[in-house]
Structure 1
Amino acid sequence: MKKILLSFCFYLYAISASAQFQNPGFEQKTNTNSDLPALWNVAPVAGYTAALAGDVKHDGGYSLKMEGKPQDPSKFLNVSQNIPIVVNQIKRIKITAYIKTENLKGNVAMWCQVWDENKKRIGFENSGMQGVTITGTSDWQKYSMNLIVPKAAKSLFFGAYTKGTGTVWFDDFAIEEFDGTNDQPTAEVLKFNKEFTDIVRQNSIYTDSINWKSVDEDLKSLGMGLKTIADARILNNFVLQQLRKAGDNHSFIQDKVSAKNYSSGNTVQAKPEAKLLPGGLGYIAVPGFGSTNIEVMKAFAANIQTLIKNLDTANKIKGWVVDLRTNTGGNMYPMISGLGPLLDHGKVGYFIRGRTGNPWIHRKTGMGMTINNPYKVNNRKNKIAVLIGPMTSSSGEMTAITFIGQKNTKLFGEPSGGYVTANQMFGLSDGSNLLLASSYVADRNKKKYLNRIYPDVLVKPVAAQDAALQAAEVWLKSKN
């Protein structure tokens, strides 16, 4: 057995002797004729291979080698294990592994779900989310992923995967506690944690559903030994976990690099598209939009209006299709302002906090921004079909809401993604942003949406067909 096992009892004493990997260094085979490791799950995936490797290893006799040549770039190969765990108080641990890569055009990551006694997920982390990037060619390196384990935890469902072409070797998985957990956190950590939790306490719509006394006690335990703002992220993530438990599936942290990109240019690559459909129907697809830069916002909105104008002036349009099925969200104002020629003026929706409703006012020149020379369609009485689906999320859902209750307008497709709370952006002192669910949303008739948006006409997907678009076309061409 490998040397690393000699240190397990020391690392795990405060957790539980049962909280350890089985066959952590891949020294045991499933059987004598197998080239797969015992006590690990490796489900076959087309384009990938997995096998024990005796020629390349960090320690001992074997490592686990995964090689990818996938035809489908969305596929990945995963190795996983369920690890029983017993804790008597909330713990910070880290899962470590030695990893080697060669010509990897993709990425490798570790992930872990924390389960309670009912196998309900009560925690989740991914090494990529913690800023760990593993790609290209590199020799053996020790990588770690931080994890919070609450008292209710009964098992860790752990996995590591490779995605893309190239080769990766895994070896010597381990679970360790953080060093210096008896030291008080630095003033820097305490200040940043207070900044973050104060924002959540004062602005989250779920704040009353959180036991802040208990959370503060857990944060005090988790904060021991933390020295930098980067270390303090584990405290921020713990607070976000409490929001998840309270029902918040929308709030998240935008790291410093992403925040900078978001303030400068559109972080969404997809562009709006337009075309003329048979029967004189104008089709406009609006993807997500990711920026708070006012000039970029205006350009995006103006582009949508130009696409509408070009269709409307070159053809006798008899109806419109607004496709939001690939709109995963971002900044709603350029989306709605761009679609302004197809929207009523006035109140088209609301942000709801408590009993207070803050209306969304759509004006001739846009909503939340000003469009120069806004276009007006030739026939505003034309029917409008709005297409939504599971990918229609967040600001994509807000955009769909602005059409609800409008005359001669119907929604077609499948239920939306279910991110119908409104996120408010709060800048943090380290340059990152907290996007926090700060209000519910409602349509122009003040109907509040707490789950997802259901279309007026539910259309089930049909293989090799665009059933939702077909149903919309039928309605648009009808006299009803």
Structure 2
Amino acid sequence: MPKRLLISTLILGIGAIMVSKSHADPKVSSSTLNRDLGYQSSSTGDPVSRRGAQVSISAEQPKASDFGGMIFTTIAEPWTNRVVRVSAVVESKGESAKPWIWLRADGSPGKSLKFATSAGRPLLANGHVSVDLRIPPDAESIAFGVAMRGKGKTSARELRLDVSDYSLPGDEASAEQVYSEALRVVLENAYRPGNLPENLQELKPELSMQPGTGYQAEKPVRALLLQLHDSHSIFRSAEDAYLRSISGGDPRSVSVKLIDGNVGYALMPGVGGSDGELGRRFAVEVDERLMRVNGDARCGWVVDLRRNTGGNMWAMISALGMFFGEEHFGGFKSRDGSVEWWSLRYPSVTEVAGAALAHDAKVAVLLGPRTASAGEAVAVSFVGRENTMSFGAPTRGKATANKRFQLPDGSAIFLTTAVDVDRFGQEIDGAVVPDVLLSEDDVMSSDIPQEALNWLRSSCSSR
């Protein structure tokens, strides 16, 4: 089930609560969700206490589309205008058991105002998971809990509802203020403003001017961005925008190794987050690992971008700096036709010790449909590079530049303001198409295509 549908189903599924019971704290109640579909749950402890609650969920014969779990509800008044966090240490048993936690602010009965979920996010090795939500002033109640899809068991210990360790700007922003600023940003900066209706100002929705209602502008702003038809501009809630600003790539996600004693291999997945210092550390550590292998990679390198879904392009390009020289290797073309060129001297690029060390090495670049956004920018940087050949399938088709614009309530628009061009100034029209097309099986496999290895070794000595 798509994530968006899953979230909608969970919101509506609260109406299927079965077997309510009183909780230890009279201000908190708990219930089992979808007991009639075969889900069992129990809890001990208090989720608003220091030690939290312990929750158990099990299902023996659920349908593939079913989910169930434990729901807690409490009044919103003590939490309004604050960033609230639900956290737990979650463990599941059973191959099909997929757990998550969630948090929702409700207005009048049956009306969901805001929702946050960890669904779709992989569990950390230590099992810790959390979601944050700023509770709006018009919220009347808060619902939160643990849910599971599939057969098996899930346990959550130290499940707690508490005030988060950070605050967000814009508590007093109104929906009208947020939308008006979003409209101004789009009209002044979007790469394709001509796709918008000519009477856009007349179509401006009537939104609340009451303080604290900024969250109500989310749907209208998303609708505005869709009208750009650039397939890349996105809206981020205040919570999401903040957490992305303090996160960065994990160098351990990059695989660097030597293949058969003469070919270097670098798997570069997406790098989430935009924290500058974390991006710098990522680049430096990955560069050090590449340098350790480079001396033995006499037949060249495989740079695998097949799983690269995007993120911070500068962290990735900096990490791969050994493959570039003094030249510019791509750029952003704005709507006025000007080009902002990329090079190792670009202000956002981290200087690494191995820069240009392998600028003349043979490089086989692997691409696929999951290669997207900043991952495509990395792919573009190799287009036209000497001694380079790309293999795989066309990329996602989001070879455009997104710039972050903060809105009055702390939410943000990541707006498409430019398109990528290669080192020759040629605009990338949609997807990056590889030089050598491979079968779907080869593209989706984690194996290195033999075609790429044969090309690298074609001019390499056998010693």
Query: Pairwise mapping of residues 259-270 of structure 1 onto structure 2 (< 5 A)?
Result: 259-266=241-248
Q: Match of 1:351, SS?
A: strand
Corresponding residue for residue 473 of structure 1? 453
Cα 1:422–1:209 change in 2 (3 A) is same
One-letter code of the match for 1:238? P
Corresponding residue for residue 319 of structure 1? 300
One-letter code of the match for 2:309? T
Corresponding residue for residue 369 of structure 1? 349
Quote the Cα distance in structure 1 between the aligned partners of 2:217 and 2:193: 17
Report the TM-score when normalising by structure 1.
Answer: 0.61
CA-to-partner distance for each residue in 1:8-66, whole Å, 9 max, x for gaps? xxxxxxxxxxxxxxxx989xxxxxxxxxxxxxxxxxxxxxx99668x99xxxxxxxxx9
Quote the Cα distance in structure 1 between the aligned partners of 2:410 and 2:193: 24
Corresponding residue for residue 391 of structure 2? 412
Corresponding residue for residue 338 of structure 2? 357
Corresponding residue for residue 239 of structure 2? 257
Quote the Cα distance in structure 2 between the aligned partners of 1:250 and 1:462: 27
One-letter code of the match for 1:77? S
Contact kept? 2:237, 2:410, Cα under 8 Å: yes
Corresponding residue for residue 293 of structure 1? 275
Corresponding residue for residue 18 of structure 1? none
Offset, 1:309? 0.6
Contact kept? 1:109, 1:128, Cα under 8 Å: no
Quote the Cα distance in structure 1 between the aligned partners of 2:294 and 2:346: 19
Quote the Cα distance in structure 1 between the aligned partners of 2:250 and 2:380: 21
Cα 1:304–1:133 change in 2 (3 A) is closer
Corresponding residue for residue 360 of structure 2? 381
CA-to-partner distance for each residue in 1:177-220, whole Å, 9 max, x for gaps? xxxxxxxxx98332222112111111112322111524643512
Quote the Cα distance in structure 2 between the aligned partners of 1:133 and 1:462: 31
Cα 1:162–1:460 change in 2 (3 A) is same
Contact kept? 2:176, 2:217, Cα under 8 Å: no
Report the TM-score when normalising by structure 2.
Answer: 0.63
Say yes or no: does 1:201 pair with 2:187: yes
Contact kept? 2:326, 2:343, Cα under 8 Å: yes
Offset, 1:291? 3.1
Say yes or no: does 1:283 pair with 2:265: yes
Structure 2 unaligned segments of length 5 or more: list them: 1-13, 17-33, 42-56, 73-89, 93-98, 104-111, 120-128, 131-139, 155-171
Quote the Cα distance in structure 2 between the aligned partners of 1:355 and 1:236: 29
One-letter code of the match for 2:263? L
CA-to-partner distance for each residue in 1:431-460, whole Å, 9 max, x for gaps? 232211111111112222232111111111
One-letter code of the match for 2:402? N
Corresponding residue for residue 429 of structure 1? 408
Offset, 1:264? 2.5
Contact kept? 1:361, 1:367, Cα under 8 Å: no
Structure 1 unaligned segments of length 5 or more: list them: 1-23, 27-48, 57-65, 80-97, 111-126, 145-160, 168-185
Quote the Cα distance in structure 1 between the aligned partners of 2:64 and 2:201: 36
Quote the Cα distance in structure 1 between the aligned partners of 2:420 and 2:306: 19
Q: Give the length in aligned residue pairs.
A: 348
Corresponding residue for residue 190 of structure 1? 176
Quote the Cα distance in structure 2 between the aligned partners of 1:240 and 1:252: 7
Quote the Cα distance in structure 2 between the aligned partners of 1:387 and 1:245: 33
Contact kept? 2:300, 2:361, Cα under 8 Å: yes
Contact kept? 1:273, 1:307, Cα under 8 Å: no
Quote the Cα distance in structure 2 between the aligned partners of 1:289 and 1:400: 14
Corresponding residue for residue 446 of structure 1? 425
Contact kept? 2:283, 2:350, Cα under 8 Å: no
Over the aligned positions, Cα root-mean-square deviation in angstroms equals: 4.3
Contact kept? 2:393, 2:433, Cα under 8 Å: yes
CA-to-partner distance for each residue in 1:379-428, whole Å, 9 max, x for gaps? 64331001111221111110110000111101111221222221001122
Quote the Cα distance in structure 2 between the aligned partners of 1:129 and 1:397: 33
Corresponding residue for residue 65 of structure 2? 77
Corresponding residue for residue 196 of structure 2? 210
Contact kept? 2:321, 2:352, Cα under 8 Å: no
Quote the Cα distance in structure 2 between the aligned partners of 1:197 and 1:252: 14
Contact kept? 1:262, 1:290, Cα under 8 Å: yes
Quote the Cα distance in structure 2 between the aligned partners of 1:196 and 1:70: 47
Offset, 1:237? 2.7
Q: Match of 1:417, SS?
A: coil
Taking every aligned residue pair, what percent have the same amino acid on both sides? 26
Q: Match of 2:328, SS?
A: strand
CA-to-partner distance for each residue in 1:78-129, whole Å, 9 max, x for gaps? 59xxxxxxxxxxxxxxxxxx9964999624889xxxxxxxxxxxxxxxx898
